[in-house]
């Protein structure tokens, strides 16, 4: 049993990751920022799997909130270490660059890329002491290929991919792996307005993916089965882009 933290664990892909980490027997800390009822639902699902966990509210883009919540937990639990970190929280605010507002640029970068920095720089310290750790960052096809209308989102995700490759080389000697999972089109609240019928002919597997299919890849990279894989990006996109 290990302690795991999943940012944006209240809904969608993050929830499916929380449930699979619970299935693997881990204690799961479910981060959320606004939807406490959804975070509590995830916690109930974790308990249904016979594991335990807790919910933890913070906005990953707000460094003061992240510091207070995570350092508070670490102070209260001096004998425990968060050994699995999944940086999953993310938002999209699509807009052509010529029309993009500062808010659309800054919020998407602040949560996607800033969130990775704010959370990981705290959690990595315990992993370095423990000489074991798994960090999995949920990025996107958009960060690999670039998608029009998503310069903000593509930049955030590509930034995390670069940071993953750099960090994996900093901490490899300490048995800490750092990898990305890059989903394509996945059925969640984030893709609610996107019509599967219009897009599925672009996808070789002719359908959107499920949150559970992404969670399968994340839980594999977070497990003892992935001891010699680091600095990688694993695409879960039905063959849309390779
Ligand atoms: P979602 O259904 O919209 O859920 C987003 C999650 O992130 C929620 O749990 C939300 O918490 C949390 N969140 C948002 N802003 C946050 C913040 N500032 N601080 C902390 N938590 C925050 O999204 P999803 O589709 O599951 O996406 C999960 C990840 O996969 C994201 O990084 C996304 O970019 C990536 N992704 C998704 C797709 C896709 O097709 N769905 C494709 C590629 C990549 P609340 O419930 O409290 O709002």
Residue that has been written with the tokens 């509210």 in this structure: 57
**Alpha-carbon distance 155 to 134, whole Å?**
24
- The CA–CA distances, whole Å, from 35 to 31, 56, 135, 159, 184 equal 10, 11, 24, 27, 25
Least Cα distance to 15 among 33, 28, 3 occurs for: 28
Q: Can you say how many angstroms the Cα of residue 97 is from the centroid of all Cα atoms in its chain?
A: 25
CA of 14 to the centre of ligand 1 (A): 7
The catalytic position among 3, 153, 228, 241 is 153
The residue whose CA has the least distance to atom 41 of ligand 1 is 186
Domain of 148, CATH number, reads 3.40.50.720
> H-type helices in the chain, by residue range?
12-23, 36-48, 63-76, 102-109, 115-130, 141-145, 151-171, 196-199, 211-221
Q: Is residue 179 included in any domain, yes or no?
A: yes
108-119 tens-digit pLDDT: 999 999 999 999
- Is 242 within a domain? no
Q: Give the pLDDT of residue 156.
A: 99
Within a 10 A sphere around the Cβ of 171, how many other Cβ atoms? 18
DSSP 173: G
51 in a structural domain:
yes
* Residue 153 appears among annotated catalytic residues: yes
Write down the pLDDT at residue 186.
98
* pTM summary value: 0.99
How many angstroms separate the alpha carbon of residue 195 from the centre of ligand 1?
A: 19
CA of 87 to the centre of ligand 1 (A): 10
Which residue's C-alpha comes closest to atom 9 of ligand 1?
8
Give distance in angstroms: CA of 79 to centre of ligand 1.
Answer: 31
Residue 236 binned pLDDT confidence (cut-offs 50, 70, 90): very high
pLDDT digits (tens, 9 = 90+) for 214-230: 999 999 999 999 999 99
- Give how many domains the chain has, as a whole number: 1
Are residues 236 and 242 in contact, defined by beta-carbon separation less than 8 angstroms? no
The predicted pLDDT at position 133 comes to 98
Residue range 108-137: average pLDDT?
A: 98
Residues spanned by the domain of 192: 3-236
Ligand 1 interacting residues, C-beta cut-off 6 A? 7-8, 10-14, 31-35, 38, 59-61, 88-91, 111, 138, 140, 183, 185-186, 188-191
Note whether residue 241 is domain-resident: no
pLDDT for residue 17:
99
């Amino acid at each position: 049993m290990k302690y795991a933290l999943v940012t944006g664990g209240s809904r969608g892909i993050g929830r499916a990751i929380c449930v699979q980490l619970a299935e693997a027997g881990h204690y799961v800390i479910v981060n959320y920022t606004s939807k406490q009822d959804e975070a509590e639902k995830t916690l109930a699902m974790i308990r249904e799997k016979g594991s335990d966990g807790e919910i933890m509210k913070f906005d990953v883009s707000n460094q003061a909130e992240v510091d207070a919540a995570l350092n508070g937990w670490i102070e209260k639990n001096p004998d425990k270490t968060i050994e699995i970190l999944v940086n999953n929280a993310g938002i999209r605010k699509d807009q052509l660059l010529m029309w993009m507002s500062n808010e659309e640029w800054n919020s998407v970068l602040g949560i996607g890329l800033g969130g990775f920095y704010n959370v990981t720089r705290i959690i990595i310290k315990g992993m370095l002491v423990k000489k074991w750790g798994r960090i999995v960052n949920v990025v996107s096809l958009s960060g690999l290929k670039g998608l029009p209308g998503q310069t903000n989102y593509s930049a955030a995700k590509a930034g995390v991919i670069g940071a993953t490759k750099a960090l994996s080389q900093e901490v490899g000697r300490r048995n800490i792996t750092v990898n990305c999972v890059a989903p394509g089109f996945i059925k969640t609240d984030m893709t609610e307005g996107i019509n599967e019928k219009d897009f599925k002919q672009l996808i070789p597997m002719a359908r959107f993916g499920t949150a559970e299919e992404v969670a399968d890849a994340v839980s594999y990279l977070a497990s003892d089965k992935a001891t010699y894989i680091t600095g990688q990006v694993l695409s879960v996109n039905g063959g849309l882009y390779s």
